[in-house]
Structure 1
């Protein structure tokens, strides 16, 4: 009896493994026992009534010697368990903690504004490997050392940037071991399959923002049929060549800045009201390049390049960040860059984002001549920001980084993905409006819901978006063709 039972178990295991391999997993992954999630009651007040968990997953199933890494999870049970639909994975941007995203959503009254998200779904925040609370990557070498510029004007400055990046990469690998080389999108997507198996769910639901929209696409490509729905907020399109993708982002950020400058110069709620804000900004950048502005009493300074690099993040949500950005610019003009130096995204770790990017994003330039040509393009299409957008920061930070990016865009339609509802604003600093349609083309049956405005995370601020998303989550009903929403003013 024992032998027959063992044989039966072995047979079931073999069948299960073959099904998993057929769905895109490796043989090594299929043979890996499903990790267990160790759940306990969360002890932080903001997470009261929620479950906090950890689980260990293989760093690289094909190389057991690389060991395991620990993931951190927080689960908020659905309010209405009788009408519960399933588990919604909450995901964030590159290098950004999903658990901290959930924290700030709760502070922002997610309980009251969350619609079907909170009523009918268990919300599950899983920090990606190496990010946030999941065995976070730590490095001792700064992303930009003293005298290093991400916008080199000479070949010597370009070579100095590459040398600095090599030293950074060596330090990160020394401090973090094999994990530092395994935070690419495919490895991260594999972890979510381990999570699904550990939960015992047949299918999951996906909510993504920017980077994690592509992560969700990658998960659906590797594990067809494992997602039931996808709500993708502020899509980027990695199907474009790297230069075109960067140019789109530059145009989007420059457009956002121009809209901010117009609003700020005419709004009584902006600290620079009544001024030519674009001209004031340009003068601030020029002055800071000549004489960096102190950041309070920290002993640190911001130059003009630093100000331009920080700007995109201060433009992401008109309703939330534009007013404080005007105040930060005014403070910098008065000689203190303290407010300007703080990224509005409190969930983000730039070092962790940089390491992810070096493994996922093919570079738009790899040598000095290519780099100089791109700077010419940046100055032409982004005269105020000078092309200082995230994709440029990642490209600059990855020069000299060992190994090639493991980028794997969809080469064609991802037939294993559910039709996605893509929420795309017409004027968002992180992603061009047309990017939403590029991603929709990769996911058959998907639809873009246009939001006329300057914000992302539209679900919590636009009743129109909330209504359309709730309907889609309930039964898959898409918005009417050419449906458009608008951010409340």
Structure 2
């Protein structure tokens, strides 16, 4: 079903016109508006932080159809001669970025520094740039989406390998999406990255910068890459950390991430087997892992810790095999992921409490700083095709291959969710994956792409294949695990700083240990 089938008056909701009417790569819509900056209206936000807003079109392809408000936060440069603004994005998609500004400001006010852990940008970047955290459309500060949380709190089986469960999944997704459309309005249909990058260009103009200086982590790498394709003449210094590949088929992207997740998990097993600090050291972790997943597939594991109403964030007390695998992936993404995953496994195996793999329980029908799922799913469903998954048989075929290659992780990952969670969605993708326009990307300055060897979410292979899409790209690698590299505060972070501050380009293909 497409959006025009769902609503009888699609034009009134600003649904896209034919693709031939869209701006072509290289064009830029002029913006006469400046970002409106003021002190933030909250005692919880340090005085060093500015809050800003900008009105942008609801639909950049039909700008006459109204506007939405984007919100952002800024820390002004410490140096006397800043290079301009520096934008970062935490990825997701759907993860807010503005709160990182507040965390940075509080950390600085406490007299701490980069080496002690929390700040997300270094002193070098703080000296050189005004740092801006922009919440993308549909997120907390930027006209947040509203959906019925009931559908998130009562999930259905995503790996629908029989006809009945496949139909249940389609109907569940359709009802959830219809709740978002009803509660949010026309913005629900305008969440694709094609809209986001045009928002970003207006914000660039609104802060008075000729070029966009950008670092996108994970899903933010996609925003940066697609911005570069559309606005190559406005790219300044750009870093893509944890690269998302945008030209792959449904099957290739699902299996590509599955292989990356499996490799990261095997690295975790090796670590625990050789590190006495691991609380599961000396135990047969692969067998324990598989046994827990198999048990959860037959009957959800109990997570009695979620019954504690004071727990933040709240969680659901039953853990399916899909929950187990997707939340384990989330844990592997973070810096302390290995010891945390080991403890989660110990608690599930020894204490029959799978709280470490329990899905979050949503408390609100509106997106906030901790609840990104509404924007997450809407962006994925706007950006990825699912037309090759027409039946349970199609899903079974994909996951037969995925499970043959990845017996522990079994094909469950974000790219899988980008398809299965969108079956039955009431519109077709507005920004489907595609091969980049090489005429446009041939005009680009150097773009730095960073990736770890065993990143569980964005395959190191994708960082290499994106060179075909971005011919000016230079690769740097980190011989390590976990998701993205800059925030690990090692050699890769120092290389990225040198590039962003001084324009120093590292030797292409260099591998660093930290």
TM-score, normalised on structure 2? 0.83
CA contact (8 A) 1:451 1:485 kept: yes
**5+ unaligned residues in a row in structure 2: which ranges?**
1-22, 116-121, 309-315, 361-368
CA contact (8 A) 2:145 2:188 kept: yes
Pick one of 128, 131, 146 that aligns with 1:123.
131
2:378 alignment partner in structure 1: 355
2:429 paired with 1:426: no
2:397 paired with 1:373: yes
Correspondence 1:160-179 to 2 at 5 A: 160-179=168-187
Cα displacement (A) at 1:270: 2.3
2:312 alignment partner in structure 1: none
2:201 paired with 1:193: yes
Cα displacement (A) at 1:305: 2.2
Cα displacement (A) at 1:80: 1.2
Alpha carbons of structure 1 residues 444 and 62: separation in structure 2 relative to 1, 3 Å: closer
- Secondary structure in 1 aligned to 2:507? coil
CA contact (8 A) 2:26 2:233 kept: no
| Cα shift readout 1:204-240 (whole Å, capped 9, x = no counterpart) | 2010012111111211222231121111101121122
Alpha carbons of structure 1 residues 166 and 460: separation in structure 2 relative to 1, 3 Å: closer
Correspondence 1:301-316 to 2 at 5 A: 301-316=318-333
1:330 alignment partner in structure 2: 346
- What's the Cα RMSD here? 2.5
Correspondence 1:29-40 to 2 at 5 A: 29-30=29-30, 33-34=32-33, 36-40=35-39
Q: CA–CA distance in 1 between the matches of 2:325 and 2:404?
A: 15
TM-score, normalised on structure 1? 0.87
Pick one of 397, 400, 403 that aligns with 2:427.
403
CA contact (8 A) 2:250 2:385 kept: yes
Aligned pair count reads 460
2:337 paired with 1:321: yes
CA contact (8 A) 1:425 1:450 kept: yes
2:246 paired with 1:255: no
- Secondary structure in 1 aligned to 2:256? helix
Cα displacement (A) at 1:249: 0.5
Pick one of 163, 166, 175 that aligns with 1:158.
166
Cα displacement (A) at 1:147: 7.2
Pick one of 491, 496, 502 that aligns with 1:464.
491
Q: CA–CA distance in 2 between the matches of 1:269 and 1:190?
A: 48
Alpha carbons of structure 1 residues 460 and 263: separation in structure 2 relative to 1, 3 Å: same
1:435 alignment partner in structure 2: 462
1:11 alignment partner in structure 2: none
Between 1 and 2, higher relative CO (CA 8 Å, sep ≥ 6) is seen in 2
Cα displacement (A) at 1:154: 0.7
- Secondary structure in 2 aligned to 1:425? strand
Correspondence 1:45-84 to 2 at 5 A: 47-63=46-62, 66-82=65-81, 84=82
1:217 alignment partner in structure 2: 225
- Secondary structure in 2 aligned to 1:402? coil
Q: CA–CA distance in 1 between the matches of 2:375 and 2:222?
A: 17
Q: CA–CA distance in 2 between the matches of 1:482 and 1:62?
A: 39
Greater share of helix? 1
2:19 alignment partner in structure 1: none
Q: CA–CA distance in 1 between the matches of 2:163 and 2:107?
A: 47
1:473 alignment partner in structure 2: 500
Q: CA–CA distance in 2 between the matches of 1:274 and 1:22?
A: 58
Q: CA–CA distance in 2 between the matches of 1:302 and 1:286?
A: 12
2:247 alignment partner in structure 1: 239
Alpha carbons of structure 1 residues 324 and 473: separation in structure 2 relative to 1, 3 Å: same
1:88 alignment partner in structure 2: 86
Cα displacement (A) at 1:66: 4.0
**5+ unaligned residues in a row in structure 1: which ranges?**
1-20
Q: CA–CA distance in 2 between the matches of 1:377 and 1:48?
A: 54
Cα displacement (A) at 1:90: 0.8
Cα displacement (A) at 1:120: 0.7
Q: CA–CA distance in 1 between the matches of 2:494 and 2:35?
A: 36
2:114 alignment partner in structure 1: 112
Alpha carbons of structure 1 residues 467 and 411: separation in structure 2 relative to 1, 3 Å: closer
Q: CA–CA distance in 2 between the matches of 1:108 and 1:456?
A: 23
Cα displacement (A) at 1:57: 1.6
Cα displacement (A) at 1:451: 0.7
2:313 alignment partner in structure 1: none
Moved more, 288-297 or 419-428: 288-297
- Secondary structure in 1 aligned to 2:86? strand
1:386 alignment partner in structure 2: 410
Cα displacement (A) at 1:111: 4.8
Q: CA–CA distance in 2 between the matches of 1:256 and 1:118?
A: 33
2:278 alignment partner in structure 1: 270
